Amino acid sequence: MRIHELDIAGLKLANNVFLAPMAGYTNFSFRKMCRGLGAGLAFNEMVSAKGLAFGGEESRRLLYTEADESPKAMQLFGSEPVLMRAACESEELSPFDLIDINMGCPMPKIVRNGEGNALMENPKLAERIVSECAKSGKRISVKFRVGVCEGDRRAAEFAKLCEGAGACMITVHGRTRDKIYAGPVDFGQIREAKEAVKIPVIGNGGVWNDKDARKMFENTGVDGVMIARAALYRPQVFAEILEREEPPFSELFPVQLQETKRLYGEHFACVFMRKMAAFYLKGRRGAAEWKRRLFTAQTTEEVAKYAAEIFGEGGAASPSEET
């Protein structure tokens, strides 16, 4: 294992195990929990440069942060260099220490707009975007995939393009766009990207536990790992990889619920925490029935009640018992 402090263009991080930006999930309360469990850097949900330009309220909500969140990292997506630079220079992004440009999202609605992973098919435009954003004076990183379709090998070339345009870090997801989030991770291409540049390279994809993190480091030589879906099912994965004590859900869930309610209100907290409890149920006895009950909850009090029964210190109660 190669856990260590990391310096990204003068931004000093306590460790090199990061929380990935995930749309719909990495809000402030979730990031705060993951940072508490050890994440060296936690990215917010991706935000649209166009949405910021037009004053979208949703974009501002996604950018919520507090003074004690340090360092701060956010992810930006778009396909217009001028708008992307304007976003980097905007007051809304001034609190952030690092701005990551999304060139990896495989979702059709993003790709159809020429954004996300579509930019890997337009390297000249991708280069202009990175270059313009770097001119803002902010630290700029880029997250991208190893390619577009199976057999596509462009990770090293794209890594050099990003570095040459001014990126101070890159994150490489080891799958092509057509694989979405399934299938084996191409360690070979991640390694090629790492060997092609001098800036820090972070490996992403298929890291679910300590063993997977070790495998990523050993097979690619990357400078760090980025955790995505694994954190949704078990945020304690950060503590596991960093060899720290892993608190149980009975301790984590109530704090996350109250923090989410404080920040985003009753309705959002109820809906979001029902969803999170369903993730945390993975592998537990009677999970399907517990999920059904959870999604009937109409208040955070009801969610808290079910969570206490599910994640109580004695383990998950059987859903066949009276509740």
Residue 133 annotated as catalytic: no
266-280 vs 249-264: helix crossing angle, rounded to 10 = 150
| Alpha carbon separation from 322 to 242, 306, 315, 317, 319 (Å, rounded) | 39, 12, 16, 9, 8
Q: Which tokens sit at 78? A: 């778009």
Which phi and psi (to 5°) does residue 54 adopt? Answer: -95, 10
3-state secondary structure at position 145: strand
3-state secondary structure of 69: coil
Q: Where are the alpha helices (DSSP H) in 8-107?
A: 28-36, 49-53, 57-62, 81-89
Structure tokens that stand for 114 in this block:
């020429």
Q: Identify the burial level of 151 via C-beta atoms within 10 angstroms of its C-beta, where 0-12 means exposed, 13-18 middle and 19 or more buried.
A: exposed
DSSP code of residue 154: -
The helix/strand/coil state of 128 is helix
Per the residue annotation, which of 105, 133, 162, 168 is the catalytic one?
105
Amino acid at 93: L
Q: Are 13 and 38 in contact (CB under 8 A)?
A: no
- In angstroms, the CA 181 to CA 82 distance is 31
> Burial code of 35-70, b = ≥16 C-beta within 10 A, e = fewer?
bebbbbbbbbbbbbbbbbbeeeeebeebbebeeebe
DSSP 317: P
Annotated catalytic residues are 105
